[in-house]
Amino acid sequence: MSEVPASHPRYLSLKLREAMVAGVEKGITSVHGLIAHGRGEALDYLIGEASQSFALEAIRVAAALLLRATHPVISVNGNAAAMVPAELTALGRLLPAPLEVNIFHASQLREQAIGDHLLAHGAHTVLMPTDQALLSFIESNRRFVHPEGIFRADVVFVPLEDGDRCQALRRMGKEVVTVDLNPLSRTARTASATIVDNLARAMPLLLAAVAQLRQESAGTWQEIISGYDNHAVLRAAEARIRSGA
Ligand code: PTJ
């Protein structure tokens, strides 16, 4: 790892780059993941490299959706595993919910490496893709899921998605919570709640929101969810990006 002084103005961004490169070197992240990360960096720059109010609103709804769920599942790909393994594990324990490895660029070696990485970070349950349960409406490698995980989930948390699966999950009647710096992506537009923020910043905020809202009643969760308009949140995020503020 190269030395990045904590005083550097772009410290978080540089540390995240290092985490992604380390992810590729450990066989967790695909090389395509580096390109996806670069696109995220550019969008993050445009939203001000801070969690904006549209993200905070979506985070609260995301927490309520995950708490209201009877069978929530946390889907993990190669980018998310490299960036926030401890936070994903903590979310799994807090809800509680299993983590499920689900990647776009097919590789059994990488699936195994991601699973091992999550277990090494203290994950309670890590489910692996199987050929015993297939998602409908989707052709990619992401259709292979675990029968006790994404297949029967009512709410799926899919940070940093690639689009096709989010639509498929919605068509299967599931709620989808995503984190995506691109408010124009198919995932962002089809998810139930889209957190337009950097995954590395959003995860601690989501954990705090879940910890706080789990003290509240199911009625409060329902109120938070029913008053929410994901399209309005996406419009606010897009306006921020276009304003160049
Ligand atoms: O590990 P795999 O095989 O499942 O592959 C994972 C990637 C991310 C490579 C795959 O899902 C992919 O190609 O994704 P896309 O289509 O590039 O979409 C990723 C989205 O995440 C884009 O809209 C990016 O802007 C966004 N993004 C990138 N970095 C971050 C991010 N969103 C939040 N936080 C980030 N740090």
228 lines ligand 1 (CB under 6 A): no
Q: Whose CA is nearest to atom 18 of ligand 1?
A: 162
8 Å CB contact between 111 and 128: yes
8 Å CB contact between 122 and 86: yes
pLDDT higher than threshold 80 for residue 9: no
The answer to whether position 45 is within a domain reads: no
Mean pLDDT of 110-116: 98
Q: For residue 204, which of 79, 103, 56, 71 has the smallest C-alpha distance?
A: 56
Euclidean distance between CA atoms 31 and 25, whole angstroms: 10
pLDDT higher than threshold 70 for residue 2: no
Euclidean distance between CA atoms 211 and 213, whole angstroms: 6
Distance 32 CA to ligand 1 centre (A): 9
Q: For residue 72, which of 99, 101, 103, 102 has the smallest C-alpha distance?
A: 99
Largest Cα–Cα distance in the chain? 50
The answer to whether position 190 is within a domain reads: yes
The neighbour count for residue 183, using CB atoms within 10 Å, is: 22
The answer to whether position 73 is within a domain reads: yes
Mutate to test the pocket of ligand 1, among 180, 186, 195, 199 (most ligand atoms within 8 A of CB): 180
Q: How far is CA 160 from each of CA 15, 197, 211, 238, rounded to the nearest angstrom? A: 18, 10, 23, 17
pLDDT value at position 161?
84
Mutate to test the pocket of ligand 1, among 16, 47, 162, 199 (most ligand atoms within 8 A of CB): 162
Euclidean distance between CA atoms 240 and 13, whole angstroms: 20
The answer to whether position 220 is within a domain reads: yes
Q: For residue 67, which of 226, 231, 225 has the smallest C-alpha distance?
A: 225
The answer to whether position 47 is within a domain reads: no
CATH of the domain at 218: 3.40.50.12640
Whether the bond between 96 and the residue before it is cis, its omega within 30 degrees of 0, is yes
* Poorest-pLDDT segment among 160-169, 186-195, 198-207, 223-232: 160-169
Tell me how many domains the chain contains.
1
Distance 215 CA to ligand 1 centre (A): 33
Higher pLDDT, 5 or 207: 207
Closest-lying ligand 1 atom to the alpha carbon of residue 43: 25
Tell me phi and psi for residue 72, to 5 degrees.
-75, 145
Kindly state the tokens that stand for 147.
């029968």
Domain that holds residue 180: 53-243
pLDDT band at 69 (very low <50, low <70, confident <90, very high): very high
104 lines ligand 1 (CB under 6 A): yes
From the number of C-beta atoms within 10 Å of its C-beta (0-12, 13-18, 19+), residue 245 rates as exposed
When the pLDDT of each residue in the chain is averaged and rounded to a whole number, the result is 95
pLDDT band at 245 (very low <50, low <70, confident <90, very high): low
The answer to whether position 116 is within a domain reads: yes
pTM above 0.85, yes or no: yes
The answer to whether position 205 is within a domain reads: yes
pLDDT value at position 57?
98
Helix, strand, coil tally for the chain in percent (to 5) = 55, 10, 35
Q: Give the model confidence (pLDDT) of 31-58 as tens digits.
A: 999 999 999 999 999 999 999 999 999 9
The answer to whether position 207 is within a domain reads: yes
Kindly state the tokens that stand for 136.
């409908």
